[in-house]
Amino acid sequence: MDENLAWKVVYAAAIFSLLVLGLAYYLISPREATFFSPERQEKIAEFSNTKIEGRKEGKKAWEFAAKSGWTEKDGFNTYLTKVERGKIYSDGKLTVRDLVAARVKIDRRAEIIEASGGVAMQTREGKIFADRASIYRAAKRMVLADRVRIVRANGVALTATSEYLSEPEQLNADNGIRLELKEGKIKTLVQADRAILYLAVDKDIPLSGGLEVAQGKKMAVADTGLYSRKQNVLQLKGRTRTVMEKAETLLKAETAAKLRRPDIKDILREKTVVTADEIFFSTKTGDARAAGSVEVTQKGREAKADSAVYDDKHELLTLTGNVFMKKGEDWLSARQVIVSIGKETFEAAEVKEAKFKL
């Protein structure tokens, strides 16, 4: 055999072998280098079923028990999953405990802890629930978002988003809030655009914007309000209007919208409606007191007074102080007028010139 031909055969066989090996490697190698993905290359450590903590200036900053997690290569961000028994400290003091979340990201540089997925935590005075929470540990504040629920000793507050300050345990809700209060057997529902709510029940709660209140057989609207647990009173101020119904009657959802309209006398002609400068609802007994330019209408009847007191048990509204009741086109003065919500009657006492019942 020609020597050159022999070498050509060897060269061809070698090249063919290399091609076959290259093709085989291509076929068996993964299409995506998952193991060497950027995410994995950034990790410095992975862990599972462990407790991890962070410190700032020698003081404990946070502590979490997690199902799994990992820390970035630069050590700045830590990611945790299925977190429970979390604790957050500010200035060495415990501000949040028993934190639970599906996911937690800890940014050591910005000192931000971001929790998401079924977030729940315990503070000194109550419990906080949300879908997402951004906790600014050094600033002692957090931003809560999506289905926020605050549980206090005597009720629950619901809102879409809110800012929470851990030092006074204060919730600032500016995107609508619903407050559910319960004192004994009395339930009071409050809705407002804005509220400053404290988890400590001994601090008053100011409310404003689109205020609506429902309590038993009463529904009211007002511009602003103030709830005091100390006095068991919800005070409503500014264009207050209240509708009072008989015990067997249910207030409809659209009643509050009707109360805001200027022509309520025509719309709610068959109801007992009270307008006043301010009205006070007892959150303990269900009684109420109206003060300042009080006007009452019921089935075309009208009465005016300086103040009025409502007895929830007997469904009686008593008007006193400069009392006047309309008869035909005339207004007659009286010592007092008693309005029965259940019987739908007006009864005047010590009327000038006559006594009568309408």
What is the per-residue pLDDT across 307-322, written as a single tens digit (0 to 9) for each? 999 999 999 999 999 9
The CATH number that domain 216-358 falls under is 2.60.450.10
Q: Please indicate, yes or no, whether the overall pTM of this predicted structure exceeds 0.85.
A: no
Quickly count helices (H) and strands (E) in the chain.
Answer: 4, 21
**Residue 281 and residue 294 in contact, taking contact as beta carbons nearer than 8 Å:** no
Q: How confident is the model at residue 266 (pLDDT cuts 50, 70, 90)?
A: confident
Q: How confident is the model at residue 40 (pLDDT cuts 50, 70, 90)?
A: very low
Q: How confident is the model at residue 34 (pLDDT cuts 50, 70, 90)?
A: very low
pLDDT at 218: 92
Compute the distance between CA of residue 159 and CA of residue 56 in angstroms, rounded to an integer. 33
Q: What is the mean pLDDT of residues 105-116?
A: 88
pLDDT at 280: 97
Q: What are the Cα distances from residue 83, in Å, to 28, 48, 63, 107?
A: 39, 11, 10, 16
pLDDT at 351: 80
- Per the prediction, the chain carries an average pLDDT of 84
Strand pairing partners for 344? none
Q: Which CATH number fits domain 37-175: 3.40.50.720, 2.60.450.10, 3.30.450.40, 1.10.10.10?
A: 2.60.450.10
Residue whose token pair is 């259940």: 342
Compute the distance between CA of residue 23 and CA of residue 76 in angstroms, rounded to an integer. 42
Q: What is the mean pLDDT of residues 11-26?
A: 56
The answer to whether the 37-175 and 216-358 domains have the same CATH topology is yes
Q: How confident is the model at residue 168 (pLDDT cuts 50, 70, 90)?
A: confident
Q: Where are the domains of the chain?
A: 37-175, 216-358
pLDDT at 72: 81
